[in-house]
Amino acid sequence: MTESFKKLIESLEALPSIGKKTARRIVFYLLKKRELAEKIANGIKEVMEKVRFCSVCGGITEEDPCKICRDEKREKKICVVEDPMDIPVIEQTGVYHGYYHVLGGVISPVDGIGPEDLRIDELMERLEGMEEVIIATNPTAEGEATAIYLTHRLKEKGIKVTRIARGLPPGSSIDLADSITLSRALEGRKEL
Ligand SMILES: [Zn+2]
């Protein structure tokens, strides 16, 4: 095995849910599919050059602040999500017309993730002029615990807090929910 070959396998192995075996299989496959390999390499380079996180909401964007944050016509609501990829999924439902805020994870003592590791202070600084905060963390134990924590913090500020309805199966995630289920969960949100 050559040095460069080994190095590529090692970098792929650092990705979530890719083990040594899969990494080796991918590299062998790419050696046979050179065109695809080039496409992936260029794609990574382009995304790394152009795409960044929005400094306001934490979503993925090519311009900072992002299009949603710059849109003054949106409803004065903030939907709090775990992951940047949850934003396009909720946008696709077409039932929500407010702003977003990405936490960048959930509170998880087992993984050593506390509130200070999430973008919660940034959220607190965005509340002025807002009418409602909708908590759309995933229906997992950590997602629920994070929702409870956020509710305490937000209620101190006197803002209306709602949680998306339990239409989503427990343990599932926003980004895997189908559009109809997610629309219902958003529309059926309850005040906390
Ligand atoms: Zn933004």
In tens, the pLDDT along 127-148 reads 999 999 999 998 888 999 999 9
Per-residue pLDDT at 70: 97
Q: Could you check whether the bond before residue 65 is cis, i.e. omega within 30 degrees of 0?
A: yes
Region 118-122: mean pLDDT is 96
Question: In which residue are the tokens 């960044």 written?
Answer: 52
Per-residue pLDDT at 177: 72
- My answer on whether 15 and 89 are in the same domain is no
pTM: 0.81
Domain limits for position 126 = 60-191
Give dist(CA 120, CA 102) in Å, integer: 9
- My answer on whether 23 and 65 are in the same domain is no
Per-residue pLDDT at 181: 80
Question: Does 71 map to a domain?
Answer: yes
Q: CB-side exposure of 57: number of CA atoms within 13 Å?
A: 26
- My answer on whether 45 and 65 are in the same domain is no
Give the distance (Å) from ligand 1 centre to CA of residue 53: 8
Give the distance (Å) from ligand 1 centre to CA of residue 4: 38
* Contact between 174 and 102 (Cβ < 8 Å): no
Give the distance (Å) from ligand 1 centre to CA of residue 12: 30
Closest CA to 140 of 165, 172, 166, 112: 172
Residues near ion ligand 1 (Cβ under 5 Å)? 54, 56-57, 59, 65-66, 69
Give the distance (Å) from ligand 1 centre to CA of residue 69: 4
Question: In sequence order, what are the beta bridge partners of 81?
Answer: 102
Give dist(CA 71, CA 73) in Å, integer: 6
Question: Does 111 map to a domain?
Answer: yes
Query: What are 107's two structure tokens?
Result: 């509170």
The CA–CA distances, whole Å, from 173 to 10, 140, 144, 151 equal 29, 8, 12, 20
pLDDT at 84 over 90: yes
How many domains are there within the chain? 2
What pLDDT band is residue 167 in, cutting at 50, 70 and 90?
low
pLDDT at 1 over 90: no
Give the distance (Å) from ligand 1 centre to CA of residue 29: 38
Give the distance (Å) from ligand 1 centre to CA of residue 70: 7
Give dist(CA 97, CA 89) in Å, integer: 13
Give the distance (Å) from ligand 1 centre to CA of residue 66: 4
- My answer on whether 101 and 143 are in the same domain is yes
